[in-house]
Amino acid sequence: MLTILTTSQEFIGTRSRDIRLKTHSSTQPVIVANFWLMVGDEQIALQSISALHDVMQDVMQGDAESSFRQTVTLRRAVTQDKRLYAWYRDAKLGKKRDDEVTVVQLDTPGGEPINAWRLENAQPVRWSGPVFHAQSNDIAMEELELRYDAIIWC
Tens-digit pLDDT profile for residues 13-30: 444 356 778 776 667 787
- Residue 6: the pLDDT is 45
% of the chain surpassing 90 pLDDT: 60
Digit-coded pLDDT (tens) for 101-113: 999 999 888 889 9
Q: 41 vs 10, which has greater pLDDT?
A: 41
- Residue 9: the pLDDT is 36
- Residue 90: the pLDDT is 96
92-101 average pLDDT score: 92
- Residue 62: the pLDDT is 47
β-sheet with 35-39: strand ranges across: 42-44, 35-39, 101-106, 113-120, 150-153
Q: State yes or no: pLDDT of 31 exceeds 60.
A: yes
Q: What is the mean pLDDT of the chain?
A: 83
Query: What are the structural domains of the chain?
Result: 31-50+66-153 (2.30.110.20)
CA distance 136 to 11: 48
Q: Which pLDDT band holds residue 135 (cuts at 50, 70, 90)? A: very high
Q: Which pLDDT band holds residue 72 (cuts at 50, 70, 90)? A: very high
Q: 41 vs 60, which has greater pLDDT?
A: 41
The region of weakest confidence among 35-39, 63-67, 123-127 is 63-67
Cβ neighbours for 27, distance < 8 A, ≥ 6 positions apart: none
CA distance 36 to 44: 6
